[in-house]
Amino acid sequence: MAHAEHGAGTPVDRSNVGVASGVEMFAGVLMLVIGLFHIVVALTALLGSSFYVVAGGYFFGANVTAWGWVHLALGLLVGATGAALLSRRHWARVTGIAIVAVSALGNFLFIPFQPLWSVLIIAVDVVVIWALATQLRGLPIARE
């Protein structure tokens, strides 16, 4: 196993650095895709709001146009954070987990409009959260 000295003689395992980078890249690319999906849903809601139909009585379904703006904001945030993750910005790991969790919540609330689509995006969101959390867990503590 390849070890390097870190700090005061503490060995750090460098053999999995490539794997961690791959997982981070995987999460970043998925975040770009999720962002694009949100933007497609947003444009569909904003430009053709009659596409989405919900039975009466759903609390969060009052205004399809509002959902379009929510999905547009989520798409831009998730996509931008995914791009930052691909650019190896350290803040993007934790921020990515939080934003993708909000994406999953937004899609959960959007289930009455598009059930299959929403569940699919929630599943991809969970995969991204897992990838980023796994990445964070394996990193040594930075001391600067």
How far is it, in rounded angstroms, from Cα 102 to Cα 111? 14
Tell me, what's the pLDDT at 64? 80
Structure-block tokens of residue 34: 């999720």
Domain boundaries, the chain: 25-137
Comparing CA positions, the residue from 103, 93, 76, 117 lying closest to residue 26 is: 93
At 91-140, the pLDDT tens digits run 899 999 999 999 999 999 888 888 899 999 999 999 999 999 987 766 55
Tell me, what's the pLDDT at 119? 94
pLDDT(21) > 60? yes
Sign of the torsion formed by the C-alpha atoms of 33, 39, 40 and 41: positive
Comparing CA positions, the residue from 112, 110, 118, 136 lying closest to residue 20 is: 136
- Report the predicted TM-score, pTM, of the whole model to 2 decimal places: 0.75
